[in-house]
Structure 1
Amino acid sequence: MAATKTRSRGGAKNARPASRTIDDLLADFGTTMPRKEAPAPTPPAEKLFPHTVKSSGVRRMGHGWSPTMPPLAGYQMTSEETPVLWPLISGDGLPPWGAEMGYDVLSGGKFYCDPMGWVLDDSIPVTNPNIFIFGKPGRGKSATVKAFMIRMIKFGYRSLVLGDVKDEYEDLANFLGVTPFRIGPGLPGRINPLDLGPLGADWEKQTAEEQEKRATVIFNRWLMLIRGLVASQGVVFSPTEERVINKVLRHLTGWSAGASRLKPVTIPLVWAALDSPTKDLVTDCRYESEQAFFNGTRPLRDALGALCEGSLQGMFDTESTFEPDWRKPIQTLSLRSLHETGNKVAVGIALMCLNSWGQGMREAASAGDRRIVLRDEAWLQTRLSLEAVEALDANLRLSRTEGDIQLVTYHKPSDPLSAGDQGSQAAQIAKDLLNLSDVRILMGQDESVADELGRLMGLSEMQQGVITNWAMQEKGRALWMVGDQRYKVQTLLTPLEKRLTYTNEAIDPGV
């Protein structure tokens, strides 16, 4: 009988032995496989809105259910009409080039400032690069100016401060490695407002046509300054005085005699020429005699004499001792010692002299020499006379052709109107100065000037509220007017800029 295979209950008789794991194999050699712990299970995230509600609401008492949606109101208008109903609405903003000043509060984007670039961009309503900045003291006006100067350095701009009345830009100049040039009673610094400037260089090498062109520019600049200086003393500068000064300047420089090189001229030399006139000068001025010349020019001589012997003696009456290094990032001329005398008229006259000197220094600037010209406390100059206002007006009008950014600071919009009596020609020209700047920075102001802001700047009630409410809550806030566009801007400063722009040392006991 054939044998039969039997199976045990536990399995087949010839069953394959159980397989060994990697752990078993490694255990034979006395080692183990490292294991990675399994991560703990993450609980499901809580939903912010666990339930959704249909647009028509929940059909239950008090749950806002509506069987139909209300129709939307529709309006059709142009982009020029939209800002009338929705002022300060966030638009596309300005191009991202120039100094990064802070951020646009309405759009949340960065805000850049480049006045010269704006002039070159036809899509931006800016035709001149001048900047007027208004702000109540303590609202961050000077900090905004300094931040703009610092951040424009990398774009090739250098700064010229024509009269730092309170030495607010001294720390900035020292940080940039420049020592401020100081002018004041008893100080050795001198500035000759009748400097020939770069136009007097290489005079003998120029053609007769070029010499005539340069002489016209130089004499016109000098004439404008002397007109303003004489008028600041309350003397009327009529066409007769203008003819006399023109003849004196041409006699002193040697231009009338055909000299190959113009001689230097100072205000005391002009005064001396009037006090001791030559026969040729008397004849050229069409006076019958020397005595007639004396009688006709007495007010003019007295006005110039007061400048040479008065509070400005020793500051603007000799050759300049300041030779600016235009390669430096900043040049600043300090008037603090004169300001501390309390003579605001003298400070205004000094600012006018510095402005004339600065204009002469920039008359032959190269195409790549970009400059920010700061005219701080300009109201001290414009309140002197009509001629002083006209001098500033001329400087602002030349900014586009000279390639400079003229930056003028005021406390409030009515400051320019302090020139002359209300309704006078001086007041009207000073008011028109605002039209020579398409970029205006309006920082925090008291509500008492709200109506004044609206009248002079053409601001709406909402825009006035931005200046008198929002901008007063924190330093550096301002309403920027770029052409017909409006921006709510918060200026941001780095820690270094905060230190360089701090102007409360005199009243802060912790400094």
Structure 2
Amino acid sequence: MMSSQTTDDQTPAAAAKLVLSKGDRRRLEKEERRAREAARAKQVRGLRRFFAQVKADRKATLTRPGATGWNRRGGGPTGHIERPYELQGTTVQLCGYWPFIAGSGAELVGAPLGKDLRRESLVCADPISWFVGELIRNPSAFVLGQPGLGKSSLVKRMVAVLMDWGIIPMALSDARPDYVDLFRACDGQVIEFAPGRSHINPMDVSVFAAALAGVKDEKAREEGLNDLRTQQLSLMSGLVAMFARRSLDPHETTVLAHTIRSMDPDLTDPVLIPDMIAHIRSRPASLRNLTLTHEDTNAYDARVQGLLDALIAMGPDGQYKDLFSKPTTAHIIPGKPVVFDVSAVGENDGVLMAAVQSLCWNLGTITVATEKIVTKDQGLPQKHYLLIMDELWKVLRTSEQMVYFVDSLTRLNRGRGIGQIMITHTMNDLKLPSQAMTDIAWGFVNRSEMVFLGGLAPDEMGNLENVFALSETEKSWLTEWTDDSGRVTGSEKRPHTGKFILKTGKRPGLPFKVHQVHAEIAVTNTNSAWEQGTATTDDESGDLV
């Protein structure tokens, strides 16, 4: 029995601890938990809180309109639905979501071209942007389609956008011309080549030599000058061979090269054809030794007669007067968009057309090579160029030399920092006189990572079906788009103009239609020769003209 003294000295807490048993403590803890759970239950959370707020908002807006209208029948209240989650995956992974899925369109990389014909989404593409974005392996594109279906307008859209992004376009043989108006509108350079209108000295590379002279790296400067000399001699030999209508003999190329080197040792004083003819006719001892005629002047004259015949044909006494015999009228300005207008060259003159095109293309590649050396030496970012080869069939049919030149370009452009777009009508355009040349030309399409296909008849597709795995649907589209003349669908004339399939390898194609803005119409109208000063309704429609 406890004493009363001990009990009176204990605190209330100590007394409670002494009185509570284990069972009492468990009972008290359980009651406390129940009290906490009851308090939490009274709190509004999640959907309960949301609906409670909605109820309160409705009650508050019975006498005045809310942000979404009067909260009563006929009052026009609107609800808000959050955007659902967007998922990507294979058909196996997402099969349970069908049919609430949609296929993804092309990435928005490159020049905006038009609207996807199936999804109504924006289609963006160009060879350089897709190459830089690692969507394709080679910065090249090929455009095929029958005349009048919008090929040039498609290419001009890509050119205009890339020009704004710092890419330098070069249309090195504009035979129609299609790109002169666009380049002038963009403050580009237009160089016209035609007899009686301008002059171009095929041996004049002084502008490029002057640019290379300022290169500080001695090794790079010497390599650049040596390459420039090689390209100069190669170009001149090819041109002389065209006018001779045969391949030059070894001693003729030797005489030609030695004459150019001796008359212009530093590439700063361009040789003119009349001066070259006079030098060869003077029978210098160095040339007599190279031709192994020595003191026999008659034998020397016989050895160089064929070479002189070709040079005279190129000179002022030949058919083309002073086109190649006087100093160059206009040089390419490095870093500036340029178009060579050769539309005044007679299409029936195959020799002149081949010579002018070869000259333009070689000058273009020399410009790019020189610019690359100069910018690297100055520590500047390298400039990238876009070569445009429209009416490719004309280029390839001028001479076999151009076939090999374009073939080399398509294989080496990526390493040179050059993109390219080739345009022609059908695969039949690439059928050349020999099967070997045809195979090379068809290889241009096979190596193009990006191919735009417009309207084509079944017999104009060539090997496209095998190379790009055209589906039956894609072939039906191409065939249907050829029927685009003299038909009106609603208010739209020529409904298939501007429609293309973008193919990359054997993957399914992306069908789209190019829609022009009003500012483009003036520089993309390839039917300007038919205009009589009257505007057409197409000018205001924004469609292709």
TM-score of the two chains, using structure 1 as the length reference: 0.72
Partner residue in 2 for 1:95: 107
C-alpha distance in 1 between matches for 2:503 and 2:483: 17
Identify the match of residue 313 of structure 2 among 299, 306, 310.
Answer: 306
1:100-499 aligned within 5 A: 100-122=112-134, 124=135, 126-178=136-188, 180-187=190-197, 189-196=198-205, 197-201=207-211, 203=213, 209-210=219-220, 212-233=222-243, 234-254=245-265, 262-288=268-294, 289-308=296-315, 309-326=317-334, 328=336, 330-339=337-346, 342-365=348-371, 366=375, 367-418=381-432, 421-424=433-436, 426-451=437-462, 453-454=464-465, 459-470=470-481, 473=484, 474-485=496-507, 486-499=509-522
Deviation per CA, 1:263-319: give whole Å up to 9, x if none: 323455544444444211232354444443432343333233323344443333332
Post-superposition shift, 1:412? 1.8
Shift of 1:161: 1.9
Q: Rate the CA distance shift 1:302–1:98 in 2: closer, same or farther, 3 A.
A: same
| Aligned 8 A contact 2:350 2:398 in 1 | no
The structural deviation recorded for 1:471 is 6.2
Deviates more, 1:446-455 or 1:343-352: 446-455
Distance 1:275 1:212, change over 3 A: farther
Q: Residue type of the partner of 1:162?
A: L
Which protein has greater RCO, CA pairs closer than 8 Å, 6+ apart? 1
Same amino acid, percent of matched pairs: 23
Q: Which runs of 5+ in 2 are unaligned?
A: 1-62, 77-89, 93-101, 376-380, 485-495, 536-545
Question: Using the alignment, how far apart are the partners of 1:390 and 1:267 within structure 2?
Answer: 26
Task: Note the C-alpha offset of 1:439.
Answer: 2.1
What is the alpha-carbon distance in structure 1 between the residues aligned to residue 480 and residue 304 of structure 2?
55
Asked whether the equivalents of residues 231 and 387 of structure 1 are also in contact (C-alpha less than 8 Å), the reply is no
Residue pair 1:166, 1:336 contacting (<8 A) in 2 also: yes
Q: CA deviation at 1:140?
A: 0.4
Give me the CA root mean square deviation: 3.6
User: In 2, distance between residues paired with 1:281 and 1:403?
Assistant: 40
Larger relative helix fraction: 2
Q: 1:104 to 1:310 in 2, by over 3 A?
A: farther
The CA deviation string for residues 312-363 of structure 1, in whole angstroms up to 9 with x for no partner, is: 43333332221444455x3222222224x75344223211111111222222
**2:36 matched to which residue of 1?**
none
Aligned-partner residue type, residue 370 of structure 2: A
In structure 1, the residue corresponding to 2:398 is in which secondary structure? coil
1:18-29 equivalent positions in 2, closer than 5 A: none
1:172 is displaced (CA, Å) by 1.6
Moved more, 305-314 or 490-499: 305-314
Compute the displacement of 1:374 (Å).
1.8
**1:184 aligned counterpart, secondary structure:** coil
Secondary structure at the aligned position of 1:316 is classed as: coil
Q: TM-score, normalised by structure 2?
A: 0.68
Change (3 A) 1:414 1:313: farther
> C-alpha displacement at 1:94, in angstroms?
4.0
- Note the C-alpha offset of 1:147: 0.9
Matching residue's letter, 2:324: F
1:172–1:500 CA contact under 8 A, matched in 2: yes
- One-letter amino acid of the counterpart of residue 507, structure 1: W
Residue 100 of structure 1: CA displacement? 1.1
Unaligned runs of 5+ in 1: 1-33, 45-74, 78-89
**Aligned counterpart, 1:72:** none
Query: 2:195 and 2:302 mapped to 1: Cα distance?
Result: 33
Task: Using the TM superposition, give the Cα deviation of residue 148 of structure 1 relative to its aligned residue in structure 2, in angstroms.
Answer: 0.9
Corresponding position of 1:11: none
Report deviation, 1:501: 0.9
Contact (CA 8 Å) 2:427, 2:462: kept in 1 or not? no
8 Å CA contact retained: 2:388, 2:422: yes
Give the 3 Å change call, closer, same or farther, for CA 296–173 of structure 1 in structure 2: same
Q: 1:121, CA displacement in angstroms? A: 4.3
Separation in structure 1 between the aligned mates of residue 473 and residue 274 of structure 2, nearest angstrom: 54
CA contact (8 A) 2:467 2:506 kept: no
